[in-house]
Amino acid sequence: MSSQSAEKIASIIELSCADPRITPEKFLGLEFAEAAIIRNAGGRARPALPSLLALDTLGNTGTIVVIHHTDCGMSHYSESEFQDRSKTKHPEIDLHGEEFGAIVEPEKTVKQDVEYLRSFESWGKADVEIVGLVLDTFSGILKRVI
């Protein structure tokens, strides 16, 4: 176990998809404990907000990197299709209107997520850089979008 402090570990927070083909440590060339990694379906910002805030509270965030990718499973259905399929498969679970975060175009949704996070003035006041990248799942090319 490393003796590095939480402040050092959480200076970079990376948010990406839980797709097992996507390994941010590898494609970003990260060293051990260089970044805190948050992964969820689609790498969406809204459902990750509590984790982002917790990590920022524990450390000293300097950069948040949001990464979406091509051929994401969250692009295979529309939001309404996710809702309908989920209700059919899990009728006892009520998400109370929460969205799944379907991704139609990764360039568009990564911009939306970065703009959502930037809309909170506290990030700007703390000089937190928030950037959005898109990874081409097949070529491995990573492109900065915003």
Q: How confident is the model at residue 5 (pLDDT cuts 50, 70, 90)?
A: low
Assigned CATH for 6-144 = 3.40.1050.10
Report the candidate in 78, 82, 80, 86 with the shortest Cα–Cα distance to residue 104: 78
pLDDT the model gives residue 1: 39
Instruction: Flag whether pLDDT at 4 surpasses 80.
Output: no
Binding-site residues for Zn(2+), in ranges, read 17, 19, 69, 72
Residue 33 burial class via C-beta count within 10 angstroms: exposed 0-12, middle 13-18, buried 19 and up? middle
CA 66 to chain centroid, in Å, comes to: 5
Q: What pTM does this model have?
A: 0.89
Average pLDDT, the chain: 91
Give the Cα separation of 40 and 49 in Å (integer): 11
Condensed to tens digits (0 to 9), the pLDDT of residues 53-102 reads 999 998 889 999 999 999 999 999 999 999 899 999 999 998 877 888 88
Binding-site residues, in ranges, read 17, 19, 69, 72
Give the Cα separation of 27 and 2 in Å (integer): 23
